[in-house]
Amino acid sequence: MKGIVLAGGNGTRLHPLTLGTSKQLLPVYNKPLIYYPISILMLAGIRDILVISSPSSLPMIRGLLSDGSQLGLNFSYRVQPTPRGIADAFLIGSDFIDGGPSALILGDNVFHGAGFPRLLRESVANVDGCTLFGYPVSDPERYGIGETDELGNLVSIEEKPLRPRSNNAITGLYMYDSEVVEIARSVTPSERGELEITDVNRAYLKQGRAKLVRLGRGFTWLDSGTHDSLLAAGQYVQVIEQRQGERVACLEEIAVRMGYISQESCARMAAEMRGSAYGRYLMEVAESLN
């Protein structure tokens, strides 16, 4: 399976922070925001990753991530000239997907939870149609909502319903089989002129091939697209890291623990950042693997 990080948009909700830089490079505590969605794809066992972003942001993101070889990954890059909806990622990335299954994650989403790597890898191995991830929220009228029956089967998807029939918000992480590009091509723009991912998901639901995996207690899902939510995400990561002594979304640590890179490569990158707490933590990780 290949992965796509959709890091598009102009970050207007975060002005003036994003007037001179990319939203995906803003800090969530001690790491750039884009590290968090990339870490989820890595934990799922995905190493071929396409980053889609705006013409102004893509050079900055490429400057940060390079070709990915330092992490044992393979990064590709594509421009989304204007925001045209989440489903547009599959049209832009159709040659990258090349007829295979894919996972799409939004560039401002932060996920965390015990057992998440195992759940991700199981989901990757068992994609049949589309797999969505639901998270319980107290204000479901603000989200796309997935309704399930008494057996847990997905029966409906509603976008910002006035009278929600469930509190399971559909998060910004999606997994699809090889048909997603053709389905995305059949989607027509909505009233706001965008190719809606909800329409792609409903097409799979109509075929009876849409599954909702609920992320319940023990999981956290945060959207970092506003000033308040960006701050909240940073505070959450700060508390977790300081209390537990382990890093969230440390790409180098994930890479070495999953065998994508050697202990020596990890130590070398740690030495380059030894002036920071992040680099010192990474050196401890490398030394623990001796």
Please name the residue that has the structure tokens 């191995």: 125
Q: What is the mean pLDDT of each run of 10 residues along the chain (290 residues)?
A: 94 93 96 98 98 97 98 98 95 98 98 95 96 96 91 88 94 98 96 94 96 93 94 97 96 98 97 97 94
Per-residue model confidence (pLDDT) at position 8: 87
CB under 8 A, 24+ apart: contacts of 155-161: 156/205, 157/198, 157/201, 157/202, 157/205, 157/210, 159/196, 159/198
Distance from chain centroid for Cα 23: 14
CA separation for the pair 290, 288 (Å, rounded): 6
Per-residue model confidence (pLDDT) at position 149: 85
CA separation for the pair 168, 224 (Å, rounded): 19
Cα–Cα distances in Å, from 212 out to 46, 71, 111, 170?
20, 31, 16, 8
- Strand 168-176 to strand 31-32: parallel, antiparallel, or no bridges (unpaired)? unpaired
Q: For residue 190, give the DSSP letter.
A: -
Phi/psi at 73 (5° precision): -115, 175
**Burial readout 80-89 (b: 16 or more C-beta within 10 A, e: otherwise):** beebbbbbbb
Per-residue model confidence (pLDDT) at position 9: 83
Per-residue model confidence (pLDDT) at position 290: 77
3-class SS at 105? strand
Q: Is the peptide bond before 101 cis (omega within 30 degrees of 0)?
A: no
Per-residue model confidence (pLDDT) at position 152: 74
Per-residue model confidence (pLDDT) at position 59: 97
Cβ neighbours of residue 177 under 8 Å, at least 6 residues apart? 101, 127, 128, 129, 130, 209
- Strand 2-7 to strand 27-28: parallel, antiparallel, or no bridges (unpaired)? unpaired
3-class SS at 22? coil
Per-residue model confidence (pLDDT) at position 134: 96
Strands (E), 86-228: 102-106, 109-113, 130-136, 144-148, 154-159, 168-176, 210-214, 219-223
3-class SS at 112? strand
Per-residue model confidence (pLDDT) at position 3: 98
pTM exceeds 0.75 for this model: yes
Per-residue model confidence (pLDDT) at position 212: 95
Per-residue model confidence (pLDDT) at position 10: 82
